[in-house]
Structure 1
Amino acid sequence: MTTITIGQSVPDFQLSSTGDKTLSLADFKGKKLVLYFYPKDNTPGCTLEGQAFRDHIQQFDSLNATVVGVSRDSVKVHEGFKCKQNFPFDLLSDPDETLCQLFDVIKMKNMYGKQVRGIERSTFLIDENAVLIHEWRKVKVKTHIEEVLQFLQQI
């Protein structure tokens, strides 16, 4: 599978999701999709990022944008994380890294002095016609939500 770049149509995908669902890109037709990739459930940075999306969900809704999180964690782990944090959006499980590879978010990272393969915190904005229109890579959690909302308000 090749990597997707801005301006290209995103191929349809299907992944298991919270809520005992299988979601595909086609499920979001007619809406903007804010697809955010994060390393791991129940970790400090990922929790803060999810909480920021949660706390601004009404603004995303008012801009016709649906938020969906993606990590390699299992749906069972996602369910606990979503419930504990009261996330009003779905979390997709990508254990085979299918979607991660499409968006080229698997990177070598330093963790406690060791090189490990992991998800680079990234967000992608897909328009109503399934075209990738913007990406944020190496996301900084503190300012990220404002950046995404500001971009959505300008388009």
Structure 2
Amino acid sequence: MSLRIGQPVPDFTATATGDTTLRLSDFKGKQVVVYFYPKASTPGCTTEGGDFRDRKSDFDAANTVILGVSRDGIRAQENFKTKQSFNFELISDKDESVCQLFDVIKLKKLYGKEHLGIERSTFLIDADGNLVREWRGVKVPGHVQDVLEAAQELHAS
């Protein structure tokens, strides 16, 4: 089953930083950005997370929650969040249940070797829990600005 634009996103439960268990339904009435990144504390993921961190007040003003997701363990996520002063929660998706829900595990090539990994992707969910936008195969520069503009537009409508 793959998510489609305009359809409700199934409620999911996940382990997150701050010793919390998050449910998508916890954010009913707010827009939610769920962004997937390959690995905590790597250069591209650090830049992307920093861009979300630096624009968080703008996302807040657009009634939008930010959640970062990777397959890293909770300790790696906590360290990443602390070291980078991220002002939003990171989800540890070791069992890949959230990754599979959003279909972001793809065959990737690194140094000529193939492996399954997270394709950098971002999803915007409206205040009613419906998927409204998706960005797949994301390139980091300028991406957070695109997501922010979509969130602001959605909030204004």
Question: Under TM normalisation by the shorter chain, which class is it?
Answer: over 0.9
- Contact 2:31-2:151 at 8 Å conserved across structures: no
* 2:58 aligned with 1:59: yes
Q: Which residue of 2 aligns with 1:150?
A: 149
Q: TM-score under structure 1 normalisation? A: 0.97
> What residue in structure 2 maps to residue 4 of structure 1?
3
Letter in structure 2 aligned against 1:87: F
Please give the secondary structure, in 1, of the residue aligned with 2:142.
Answer: helix
Deviations 1:47-75 (A, max 9, x none): 00000000100000000000000000011
Query: Any gaps of 5 or more consecutive residues in structure 1?
Result: none
Distance between the aligned counterparts of 1:153 and 1:91, measured in 2? 22
Stretches of 4+ moved more than 3 A in 1?
none
2:112 and 2:43 map into 1 onto residues whose CA distance is 19
Q: Give the secondary-structure state (helix, strand or coil) at the position aligned to 1:99.
A: helix
| Number of equivalences | 154
Percentage of identical aligned residues: 56
Q: Corresponding residue for 2:129?
A: 130
Cα deviation digits, residues 7-39 of structure 1 (max 9, x gap): 111111101000000000011111000000000
Q: Which residue in the other structure is 2:19 paired with?
A: 20
Paired with 1:27 and 1:153, the residues of 2 have a C-alpha distance of: 21
Tell me, which stretches of 5 or more residues in structure 2 are unaligned?
none
Q: How big is the alpha-carbon RMSD for the aligned residues of Structure 1 and Structure 2?
A: 0.7
Q: How does 1:1-155 map to 2 (within 5 A)?
A: 2-155=1-154
Shift of 1:151: 1.3
Secondary structure (helix, strand or coil) at the match of 1:141 reads coil
1:3 shift after superposition: 1.6
SS at match of 1:10: coil
Residues 66-118 of structure 1, C-alpha deviation per residue, up to 9 Å, x if partnerless?
Answer: 00000000111100000000000000011111111111100001101111100
Cα distance in structure 1, aligned partners of 2:97 and 2:114:
22
SS in 1 for 2:141: helix
Counterpart CA distance in 2 for 1:80 and 1:23 is 19
TM-score by length of 2: 0.96
| Deviation of 1:154 (Å) | 2.0
